[in-house]
Structure 1
Amino acid sequence: MFKLDAAEYMMSICGDSGLRDISSPGKSGSIFFLSQDDRFVIKTLKKYELKVMLNMLPKYYHHVGSYENTLITKFFGLHRITLRGGKKVRFVVMGNMFCTELHIHRRYDLKGSSQGRYTKEEKINSNTTLKDLDLKYEFHMDKKLRESLFKQISLDCMFLESQHIIDYSLLLGLHFRAPENLKALVEPPRLMQPQFSLPSEDDPHKQGEQLIIPKGLLLVAHEPSFVNTAPGPHIRGNTLRAYSIGDKEVDLLLPGTARLRVQLGVNMPAQATRKVQEDKVEESEVELFEVYDVVLYMGIIDILQEYTVKKKLEHACKSLQYDPMTISVVKPKTYAERFISFMEKKVFPEPETP
């Protein structure tokens, strides 16, 4: 179903090169490994996770077969080995959502809850997976691409809700592109036009691609590393179709990165905006933002936690201390609705109409 060659699969996880252990931001206690070719993530499972997965498997198989662009993590193998001494270890093999030659500059694990969803500053480094309250960016993308994204997120959350699953996350990776031409200060709202064009690299006087810019943006160039390498193999569905010319559809391609094919969750072009802190700028009539061209990679992970009696008790206890809507453990329907709302309003909001 995933067009995976069995021999390549075995070589990736059982070859002479071995596996690399990787850190996890979660509290499950599971151990994670990465195959040497970066294609697969191996995660050890607890007994209850194994039970949930086996019960879910028929419906999961139907869902990923029906929606080949699903963002839900792809399971390729479920195995058990017996160690010397008789201890049994269960593990699942999943697709690596960051299997790309582009450097992932930022990683986020987003649930839509806020209680405890931050990372202590002293623990942050280049490899840290950040959380909801650490996210200072909004991401704006093509309207049709955004519609396709949220259609699939809704379908995936509907499936997870039907299986009584909670505590899942959107794993989001950012690659910052080189915005060589983003050096203009946009005029105040009363003077600005709805759109402006970037000059072409070949001819600075020639109009380039048009950008829809929210009110009062400060465009600042960062991450000056031009990237034009081809990506590693991605395991996803069909390439998205952006528009039509006559009777022929044209693939949506990511410009400036060696024609990387755009798929849901893979090679998605977007603009990341971040508000400039007020203490870092002089008083101004407009709000100032930094704007970055980015490539996004994403998928829904951690889908093996059911809303059990134990979780209901956890919800009841934490609700005595905190706002029930801010804690991670809530009913599956509430979890799905909050997850989608957070993505729509905070992570991938619609651009403001000028």
Structure 2
Amino acid sequence: MENEITIIKPNRIGESINKEHRLWNLMINLQTGIRYSVGKNTVTPNNNPGVNNISTKEEEDLQNSIYTTPEPIYFSTKVGSIASSNSSIPFTFTQFAPMAFDNLRTMFSVDKGDFMLSLCNTIQSSGDNSLRCLPSPGKSGSVFLFSDDMKFIMKTIPSHESKLLLDILPDYVNYIKDNLNTLLPKFFGLYKIKQKGYGSVRIVVLENLFRSPNKIHERYDLKGSLQGRETLDRATNSNTTLKDMDFRNDKKRIQIQQSQLLIEQLKKDSNFLSQLNIMDYSLLIGIHKNNININTSTSNSSNIDSNLIIQNEGNSQSVPSLDHISKLFELDGSVYSKSKEEIYYLGVIDILVEYTFSKKLAHFIKTIRYGKEQEISTVSPNEYAIRFQKFMESIIE
């Protein structure tokens, strides 16, 4: 039919947060805070028409103001207040460095309206379009939330990770400006919610690497370390994330035309993290296999190729993308294998781990236990970067 529209649905994971869910109030308060604070006009050096007519001192002050965090906003549940029709719990909302994250969203071509629509589109009466969450916390104890369209991940983080992100934010912003092909996480916001009787929760918003409608058949989390990096109880479902030894035992390789570009970018990214005294990050890989026989009926669109087109009365429109111009990635953040039989989704994750005294102590204990020659994960940032780079060079062709 000429007027038929192909609806492309994301690969939704986790459970929908309904009114009976334990995270309902947290979700509603998060959405209320984002809708109110992000929706306000933000003046940054990029959109201030008078920025070219100011002195050097004024420009320095303006640059420093980008990373300033405004006072927390209190949301009451009194009748007539912003939160009164949404939440039953009063809360305080803090938006960290809003101007800096506004700049980052602009650099990553994330429209403010689309950002709020993805995160804050829950229909109160029915709970439709609500955020989704994984049924159990991750190994770190973090809670993972997903926008209903799967474009964004919201992750709870401890205060020391929040502080580290704010500390490195100026360097991170400058690095992103000069590295369009970076594989580092794309940070879109950092917030704190303090609910009466529940304490404080810090939440970072990031891009979801696996936002494509393509089904992810295999997942790997690679650090370049072999000690303790094998999945002992491998499940059969595709949501199981495997590790370095699994990748090696499966005789896997990342075979792409842009192999040298990918290797060089991973070197730049890991060297940058080393300069920031950061270690213990991973390369997360999702693999979609084009050669698997799958049902591509309209009722199940989770396995459609990434060059998806929405057809409407003869017109076509490419799938919306979060990516700015890149020589490495396709529109949806993917990289095709040389054979076109596989599509890779790649990104460096977990970069908010600093090489502190506790990490040095862990390195000392693991060295005694496993021996100096063993490839343990806890090493200095420089050693970690070098080993990470060597491992990536060995698997990327």
TM-score (normalised: structure 1):
0.69
Offset of residue 93 of structure 1: 0.1
Q: CA deviation at 1:172?
A: 0.3
Q: Map 1:1-354; keep pairs closer than 5 Å.
A: 1-16=107-122, 17-22=129-134, 27-85=139-197, 87-121=199-233, 123-135=235-247, 136=250, 137-142=252-257, 145-178=258-291, 223-225=292-294, 227-228=304-305, 230-231=307-308, 232-240=319-327, 262=330, 266-270=333-337, 293-324=341-372, 325-345=374-394, 347-348=395-396, 350=397
Deviations 1:260-301 (A, max 9, x none): x737x93211158xxxxxxxxxxxxxxxxxxx8201110000
Instruction: Call closer, same or farther: CA 1:294–1:230 in 2, change over 3 Å.
Output: same
Mean Cα displacement is larger for which, 323-332 or 228-237? 228-237
Question: Closer, same or farther in 2 for the Cα pair 1:48/1:103, shift >3 Å?
Answer: same
In percent, how many aligned pairs have the same letter?
Answer: 40
Structure with greater helix share of residues: 2
CA-to-partner distance for each residue in 1:150-199, whole Å, 9 max, x for gaps? 11111101110010000100010001012xxxxxxxxxxxxxxxxxxxxx
Deviation at 1:126, TM superposition (A): 2.3
- 1:69-109 C-alpha deviation (Å, 9 max, x unpaired): 21001000001111231511100000011111111111111
In structure 2, how many angstroms separate the alpha carbons of the residues matched to 1:86 and 1:170?
A: 34
Question: 1:185-223 CA distances to partner (integer Å, 9 max, x unpaired)?
Answer: xxxxxxxxxxxxxxxxxxxxxxxxxxxxxxxxxxxxxx1
The answer as to whether partners of 1:39 and 1:233 remain within 8 angstroms in 2 is no
Deviations 1:129-151 (A, max 9, x none): 11111111112222xx1111111
**Root mean square deviation of aligned Cα:** 2.2
Measured in 2, the distance between the counterparts of 1:28 and 1:12 equals: 26
SS at match of 2:369: coil
> Residue type matched to 1:141 in 2?
I
* Residues 224 and 25 of structure 1: CA distance in aligned 2, closer, same or farther (over 3 Å): farther
Aligned match of 1:216? none
Separation in structure 1 between the aligned mates of residue 284 and residue 198 of structure 2, nearest angstrom: 35
Runs of 4+ in 1 over 6 A off after TM superposition: none
Unaligned runs of 5+ in 2: 1-106, 123-128, 297-303, 309-318
Q: CA deviation at 1:320?
A: 0.5
Are the structure 2 counterparts of residues 131 and 317 from structure 1 closer, same or farther at C-alpha, using a change threshold of 3 Å?
Answer: same
Higher RCO structure, 1 or 2 (CA under 8 Å, sep 6+)? 1
Q: In structure 1, list runs of 5 or more residues that go unmatched.
A: 179-222, 242-260, 273-291
Compute the displacement of 1:33 (Å).
1.0
Check the 8 A contact 1:112/1:132 in 2, yes or no.
yes
1:51 is displaced (CA, Å) by 1.1
Distance 2:196 2:320 in 1: 36
Supply the distance in 1 between the matched residues of 2:158 and 2:117 (Cα, whole angstroms): 25
